[in-house]
Structure 1
């Protein structure tokens, strides 16, 4: 059997990535979610719990890693972020590889928020970026519970600007409306099946 076609899905905060990933799943594509993988690693029994607790004992609460405690550590110690990444990145990569190896589907979607920021684009046969207008992005993000303008700007500062993501993408999916997103996903899946075949 030929190797699966790997599709990377990415986009900035509030661009509709999770909703778009669900549309690919509705077409039968297995979906791996980087954020969900991190949650599994941080949960009780997760592979990141022991090494992160050794680095930051205050982060261990009820057998799990408390993200708020990690964020506080990063605020207190600028070197902390790199030390956390050194533990978590290899574990996430292993989780992703295990997921891919377990699939028999022709196409696999990998939902990775910081795909370009981590230099991961070369691992994929195609990279799709979800995007909408800055106004719609702001509306969605500011509607989230507990979100502030300062938090929004802090998150944006860590992400490659949307315009640069669009330039580097193989495909841009317009998520301004559900209809536009579904249309773009349907067109991409049809194109992939035509180019690569279903099996």
Structure 2
């Protein structure tokens, strides 16, 4: 089974590209979706113990939690120490299930693949990219986003040019949905045929 890591900087179209792999019949493990699920399940008591008052009705209040950890390096590290192992365990279970099922190819959608040392967990890496102006427009269209937040997020991410250099495959989502879908199909075909 080939494990393909999918990554890209904020606003580059990673989530849309992940859906294209799913449409192409490739099982995808989505780290962001896993965190959402954990914030309504296994992570709740751990987050509440570490950050009292950040959960409501059995779920993590993401806005309250963000207010506690953003801009606080120690708090963010404390949160990552809770969440990252849970996401990793979920991904490991996903890999085991698909290996048993005989899947020839799976995708691990890992937003910070290079930043968190995730390269060793995958066989190949696909990076999604887009021109800076498209990225900026996509991100600033998100609720609650500002130029300052975007600058802060980008400062913590490996630069797009460096990600592209380290990638086995690059998909430019700035070329439109049809071009991205064709690139996904070409990658799947190259890795597993068909």
TM-score range for the pair, normalised by the shorter chain length: over 0.9
Residues 75 and 144 (structure 1), Cα distance of their counterparts in 2 relative to 1, 3 Å cut: closer
CA distance in 2, matches of 1:100, 1:78: 31
TM normalised by structure 1 equals 0.90
Taking the aligned partners of 2:78 and 2:116, their CA distance within structure 1 comes to 15
Separation of aligned partners in 2, 1:146 and 1:77: 19
Paired residue for 1:53, among 31, 48, 71? 48
Whole-angstrom distance in 1 between the partners of 2:73 and 2:123: 35
Shift of 1:179: 2.2
Residues 108-146 of structure 1, C-alpha deviation per residue, up to 9 Å, x if partnerless? 111111111000011111000000111111121122233
Matching residue of 1:6: 3
Q: Which residue of 1 aligns with 2:69?
A: 74
| 1:157 alignment partner in structure 2 | 155
- Alpha-carbon deviation of 1:50? 0.8
Q: 1:175 aligns with which of 173, 176, 194?
A: 173
Question: Which structure 2 residue ranges, 5 or more long, are not aligned?
Answer: none
Q: 1:148 to 1:122 in 2, by over 3 A?
A: same
Write the deviation string for residues 84-112 of structure 1: whole angstroms up to 9, x where unpaired.
11111111111111111122211111111
CA distance in 2, matches of 1:173, 1:147: 25
Give the conservation status (yes or no) of the 8 Å contact 2:12–2:128.
yes
Query: 33, 36, 48: which is aligned to 1:36?
Result: 33
User: Which stretches in structure 1 are left out of the alignment for 5+ residues?
Assistant: none
Distance 1:23 1:75 in 2: 32
Alpha-carbon distance between aligned partners in 1 of 2:45 and 2:164, rounded to the nearest angstrom: 38
For the residues of structure 2 that align with 1:183 and 1:75, how far apart are their CA atoms? 38
Q: How many residues align?
A: 190
Give the 3 Å change call, closer, same or farther, for CA 185–76 of structure 1 in structure 2: closer
Cα separation, partners in 2 of 1:78 and 1:66, compared to 1, 3 Å: same
TM-score, length-normalised on structure 2? 0.92
Alpha-carbon shift at residue 15 of structure 1 (Å): 0.6
DSSP 3-state at the match of 1:102: helix
* Structure 2 CA distance for aligned equivalents of residues 79 and 146 of structure 1: 24
| Residue 94 (str. 1) matches residue 66 (str. 2) | no
Equivalent residue, structure 1, for 2:13: 16
